[in-house]
């Protein structure tokens, strides 16, 4: 029986090779029951995950060189649909989205590529990489055999085919294989959906497909598809055994690959959530080295998740919620990776490099590139210039009931909801079916409470409103959940009605504040804004010069910290560096040298400005990780 299964798997692999271009193509990548084959010769994947859209393009070559210098031969990359198609039919393949350029650079450095295009990728991205506008498409049901979803997906995959088709191994490019969906067995078992998606991918990519699922029975059985190689993630030893036990279709069997060996875990905002890392822990480093050493010694393959995590710039982070409080992912996606957020090697990098060198030809691993020191920026002041609520005089929309962020055509940032009280009311504030995700409540411009869903039981806010009062709710999208797919739960802003006590408030004005670009009139403010107690959010501005001898490249990298800031967003030269939050564990924002100039303009949006507090910032050479109590904890 075993001989028969291996023979069938070999036939399947041979078919994949023929489909991948056969003898007339520039190259082929196939597999038999035990080995991957690159142009007919055994190829052991020594891989690592690095997503170009989390890394400044100016640094792509450097990060790829660092991958080669650790001994990797293959880069695994997710692609983020929401960044490529921010609005229906509006495509972006420039800057960080120029993924074809990234893959060409990988090939220049002698690296192969494994494509992980989704449409769903998880990755702790906003809604797992789905564009927010999907929630507004009539009849939409994601990750199912659903017409509207497959139509939207086909448009996306077809466009990827146009951009990346010529970069497949069959056409002389670096792309070896393409992933079908992502950990689908953790979500469902709709084989008709998987088959339909596989057909869309095969229409655009002629390399073979594979699935990637956790090493458990339900995961593997739900995610496996006939004719597609089944791959596991998580623990290699248990996962490999589970794959061979629970995947019984011989057309899905082949060499063992751990598609995501987790080097550690993600960071999320919270006073009680410390930074996740293995650097500095000898026992943790030894375990990672031992696990991957065992994998290579067994002639198996792996991809480290993450080799280099990068940064969730702007509002790009996602959230995680498993029927509990929202775990909002930090701006940093450092992931405790061997190559840290700023592209510097850690102690685990060098340990893995040493281990990998045992399995590759002597001298084939290049030297580690030299790295300049990061820049230190002396402390500089930030002055308050204008209140956030005063920047938009005309409502985006008015309606009887609150309108969600998504229905306003907005994906990220904030929405301000305003109601002018028509009669005296008092009681607890109820916001729709729950804040989406953090609601700051104001009466006549004075903050009276914060409702935050990072807590299992958010705070209860009680108000006493008089006729004529302005009652405002500023709602922040902290990141759409990546693992739950019910559309209503992914809609941000206010979903439903707002009540005070038993009185439902009617007639609302909505102000969209996506902050995709900075307000144009910040620099025109001719006098300093006076911060009041429990004030609404305030914009601050300031500037700094690069130290003498520092250039706008790797040597300009720095980490900006705002020690007296509570929560907000930081821009440098008009580029959104991401969120800061005193709760931690992240206490500094990575600012790549590529965005810096000799003179640099800084804008800070502080959501909870404190009167009498002089806000300042500085650039430090080493990241800071620690936690503080949450001033808004329930």
Rounded distance between C-alpha atoms, residue 511 and residue 415, angstroms: 6
DSSP 57-111: GGGHHHHHHHHHHHT--EEEEE--HHHH-SBTTB---SGGG-HHHHHHHHHHTT-
- Short-list 177, 82, 95, CA closest to 482: 82
Q: Where are the alpha helices (DSSP H) in 454-609?
A: 487-490
Rounded distance between C-alpha atoms, residue 531 and residue 611, angstroms: 5
316 among known catalytic residues: no
**Which element (helix H / strand E) includes 327?**
strand 327-328
260 among known catalytic residues: yes
Q: How many CB atoms lie within 10 A of CB 191?
A: 14
SS3 assignment, position 185: helix
User: How many residues in the chain?
Assistant: 634
Q: What angle do CA 364, 366, 367 make, to 5 degrees?
A: 140
SS3 assignment, position 440: strand
- Short-list 214, 210, 140, CA closest to 181: 210
446-452 and 414-420 beta bridge pairing: unpaired
DSSP 366-433: PPPPP-PPPP-EEEEE-EEEEEGGGS--S-SEEESS---TTTTT--SSEEEEEEE--S-EEEEEEETT
Of the listed 85, 124, 181, 183, which one is catalytic?
Answer: 183
Of the listed 260, 316, 476, 608, which one is catalytic?
Answer: 260
C-alpha distance across the termini of the chain, in Å = 62
- Would residue 128 be called left, alpha or beta, if left means φ above 0 and alpha means ψ between -120 and 50 degrees? left
Active-site amino acid positions: 183, 260
């Amino acid at each position: 029986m075993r001989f028969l299964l291996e023979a069938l798997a070999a036939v399947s692999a041979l078919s994949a090779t023929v489909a991948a271009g056969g003898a007339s193509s520039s190259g082929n990548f196939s597999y038999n029951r035990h080995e991957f084959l690159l142009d007919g010769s055994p190829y052991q994947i020594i891989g690592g995950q690095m997503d170009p859209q989390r890394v400044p393009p100016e640094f792509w070559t450097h990060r790829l060189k660092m991958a080669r210098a650790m001994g990797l031969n293959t880069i695994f990359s997710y692609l983020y649909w929401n960044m490529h198609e921010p609005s229906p039919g509006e495509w972006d393949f420039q800057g960080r989205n120029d993924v074809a350029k990234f893959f060409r650079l990988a090939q220049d450095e002698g690296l192969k590529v494994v494509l992980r295009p989704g449409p769903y990728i998880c990755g702790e991205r906003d809604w797992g990489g789905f564009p927010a506008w999907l929630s507004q498409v009539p009849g939409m049901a994601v990750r199912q055999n659903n017409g509207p979803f497959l139509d939207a997906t086909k448009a996306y995959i077809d466009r990827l085919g146009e951009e990346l088709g010529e970069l497949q191994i069959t056409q002389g490019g670096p792309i070896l294989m393409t992933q079908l969906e992502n950990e689908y067995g953790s979500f469902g078992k709709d084989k008709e959906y998987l088959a339909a998606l596989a057909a869309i991918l095969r229409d655009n990519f002629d390399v073979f497909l594979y699935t990637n699922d956790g090493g458990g029975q339900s995961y593997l059985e739900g995610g496996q598809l006939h004719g597609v190689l089944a791959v596991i993630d998580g623990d290699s030893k248990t996962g490999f055994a589970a794959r061979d036990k629970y995947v019984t279709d011989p057309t899905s069997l082949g060499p063992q690959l751990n598609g995501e060996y987790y080097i550690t875990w993600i960071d999320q905002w919270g006073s009680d959530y410390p930074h996740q890392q293995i650097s500095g822990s000898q026992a943790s480093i030894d375990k990672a080295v031992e696990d991957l050493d065992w994998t290579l010694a067994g002639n198996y393959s792996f991809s480290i998740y993450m080799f280099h995590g990068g940064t969730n710039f702007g509002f790009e982070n996602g959230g995680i919620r498993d029927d509990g409080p929202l775990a909002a992912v930090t701006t940093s996606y450092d992931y405790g990776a061997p190559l840290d957020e700023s592209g510097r090697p850690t102690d685990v990098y060098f340990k893995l490099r040493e281990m990998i060198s045992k399995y590759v030809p002597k001298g084939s691993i290049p030297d580690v590139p030299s790295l300049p020191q990061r820049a230190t920026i002396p402390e500089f002041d930030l002055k308050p210039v204008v209140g956030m609520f005063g920047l938009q005089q005309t409502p985006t929309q008015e309606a009887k009931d609150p309108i969600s962020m998504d229905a306003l055509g907005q994906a990220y940032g904030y929405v301000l909801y305003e109601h002018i009280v028509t009669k005296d009311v008092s009681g607890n504030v109820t916001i729709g079916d729950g804040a989406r995700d953090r609601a700051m409540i104001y009466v006549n411009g004075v903050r009276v409470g914060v409702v935050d869903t990072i807590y299992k039981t958010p705070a209860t806010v009680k108000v006493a409103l008089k006729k004529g009062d302005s009652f405002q709710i500023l709602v922040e999208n902290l990141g759409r959940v990546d693992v739950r797919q019910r559309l209503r739960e992914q809609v941000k802003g206010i979903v439903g009605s707002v009540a005070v006590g038993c009185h439902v408030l009617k007639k609302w004005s909505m102000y969209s504040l996506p902050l995709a670009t900075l307000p144009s009139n910040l620099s025109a403010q001719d006098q300093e804004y006076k911060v009041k107690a429990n004030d609404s959010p305030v914009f601050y501005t300031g500037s700094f010069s690069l130290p003498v001898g520092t250039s706008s490249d790797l040597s300009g990298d720095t980490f900006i910290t705002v020690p007296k800031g509570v929560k907000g967003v930081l821009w440098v030269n008009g580029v959104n560096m991401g969120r800061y939050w005193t709760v931690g564990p992240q206490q500094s924002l990575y600012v790549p040298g590529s965005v810096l100039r000799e003179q640099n303009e800084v804008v800070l949006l502080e959501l909870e400005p404190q009167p009498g507090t002089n806000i300042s910032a500085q650039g430090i050479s080493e990241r800071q990780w620690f936690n503080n109590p949450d001033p808004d904890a329930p």
